[in-house]
Structure 1
């Protein structure tokens, strides 16, 4: 075993109470090295533990297998070190992928990186973009405000060699500010996650779960309802967004979706068509005959998914009401 692996085993055995004073003596780099070894340790059998401890203290009072994992490492560190320091250390261990800060930046979404960098000095942005992959730099530049991106390009063209101290300062700043910010932004509201899951239910299943939730936690049920994006919310599309959706949607899917829709939704979609197209769609709906509710739900769900895909591409804007409720993808 390597030195860091041996240290990881011993610290796992010592646990929180006896290991605290040792952890507090390490600097940040030593903590990173040991926690990485600990997180990747896996199971160490009892024979290895015994040999290690015999070598370390001459005798092992209680031999046994131990397991090092991310969860156990985090649990241990959170009882010893400040939570923000733990988050920073573990974030560097498990992602974004990359052996150093510059490689990590190359694996972060260009929009996310641009949103962080837009508040930095142009010279700082220029240095950062000069250190990451050209294709990723191009994507970041495209997502910066126009004037700022032009200034950054100008700085990159005039940039000479950067002193190591300046690079180290920028790298440390990115590590302490950006990575910790990225960690915090990944903490999602569980109601948002459940709203997305509920969006995938058919109508009967959705009603069953919401009714059960109403009985046990009405506040959560109301929050989930407010966050869900349903077929009826398509009725809030502006005229341009509606026309874009209509051009993309399959006509048979639209007929099935509107077959089970209320009169308001039917009027909304039919009103966006020419008289001839509206008449043809109504004929198609009649020609379908009786439909199972499940078939209607599936068609409406596909239309909602299509609308979300168009919103993610920036082709339409969907909202659940006023401007404050606008959903940005």
Structure 2
């Protein structure tokens, strides 16, 4: 992680700008129509992350805007005009991109296009809403839905279900390897009657032990611990396999140095400080070794100056970093070592 970003004149920026915030600044600098066109080509997770960054943005300096523009121009040779907005801008932009009904409620995360399948529709919804939809379905249907969705969303959905249901679903996810295309089409048909989706899904291989481990990675630690104990009681070998495939914060020590350096460029300093408050010395040493001497000294000073932090805050910060690491690994930008490498 560099100590500071610099603009094209070599001036030191007052803070490090995470990539997602750079994307938000760039979109805020486009006209509403152009920004809407960009959003049409993004998935639900990307729209949500960038949208949240835009909504939280304030006091963006000229140097920061200039830096982001130069980075973009240097990467793709593009050129934009500045048009800073606010909540009304964001609403107008999302409405143009998604349509009035679809953009009307951020809570629902409604689908963006007519070619979205019934199952894909669920990716645009809040986890609690999806939990309500599948709550009274057969556990095998619940397992298929949970396996199909992204692990972090699936983990949140499982968190809304009863303990016994959660255990049943996770056991089924772990042993689910494939589903007949016809069964997948029928499930999509049922969902599309509710969400006016489009073409049927072609996926036939879903679930499995790796998928179960991915989902467990994103669960709250209290829920994860209880669920893992229950799985151990039912099938100790399965529980051991899931644990071997899980990637946790301590596994950062297994990532190669170049991967750690790339990861640190994506993590804000505030999140890193909180995450390291509850980290083992081995993880801290790994982080410090992959920073410049000055940046490492500043981080150590911030850690010493930071007062007591709630365990829940530390876990949330560590989960944020794990999420970034997993996303980068899936994009081929880094390789997760140890158990994580096997999982990927």
TM-score by length of 1: 0.43
Larger helix proportion of the pair? 1
TM-score by length of 2: 0.41
User: Which protein is bigger by CA-based radius of gyration?
Assistant: 1
Q: Which has the higher contact order (CA 8 A, sep 6+)?
A: 2
